[in-house]
Amino acid sequence: MKETGEKGDLFVISAPSGAGKSTLCHRLMEETPGVAFSVSHTTRSPRKGEVDGVDYHFVSKEHFMQMVEQEEFLEWAEVHGNCYGTSRSAVTAMLENGQDVLLDIDVQGAMQVRDIFPESVLIFILPPSLQVLEHRLRNRGTDSEETIRLRMENARGELAAVREYHFLIVNDDLIRAAGDLQSIVLARRCRTRRVLQRHDLSGMIPD
């Protein structure tokens, strides 16, 4: 990919907390070579099993605000009472390297990215219902009652933004939803710009 100068695409994935975004992103990366995940910075504390530098870069509020001042974030937002941001340099390097980049970010961040990269692909993951969403949050067993209440409240606001997105995936059946997500990424690789960057077709197609 690199040799022919193919540039990757940016995929912005949003969803109410608990809809299954992380699960779907992990599956996509396992099953689709050439997809990279942008590891965000956050001031939230790690959940059980989360690894610094893999799931997030866990930083102090002070460190985070320093990065904001130094304009190191492509976008950032306060979500559920914590700060989250996407590293500008990391994303640019992966795209330039020909990788497709996944951003798992909230609606506020998605709108900022859309303004900076109008070609980015915005995908919203929906739970089958609000009841299922609450059930998944509880079942995940990582959040307190207070956190679950706050996340359910915020879900309504996030759902109001679905029409801003290019694609909607209902995450009822995990295998089908993962297939939908992969199809979007693979279809994007067939766009004219990407194919012409990937293959030398100069002998066949006039400039």
Question: Given the rule CB under 6 A, which of 60-68, 73-81, 118-126, 191-199 is the region that contacts ligand 5GP?
Answer: 73-81
* Residue 17 near ligand 5GP by CB under 6 A: yes
Give 54 or 204: the residue with its C-beta nearer to ligand ADP: 54
* Residue 38 near ligand ADP by CB under 6 A: no
* Residue 100 near ligand 5GP by CB under 6 A: no
At closest approach, how far in Å is the CB of 89 from ligand ADP?
A: 25
Q: Which of 131, 139, 144, 202 touches ligand ADP by CB under 6 A? A: 139
Q: Which long-range contacts (CB under 8 A, 24 or more apart) does 109-113 make?
A: 109/12, 109/14, 109/75, 109/76, 109/77, 109/84, 110/12, 110/14, 110/161, 110/164, 110/165, 111/161, 111/164, 112/74, 112/75, 112/77, 113/10, 113/12, 113/74, 113/75, 113/86
Interface ranges with ligand ADP (CB under 6 A): 15, 17-23, 136, 139-140, 171, 174, 177
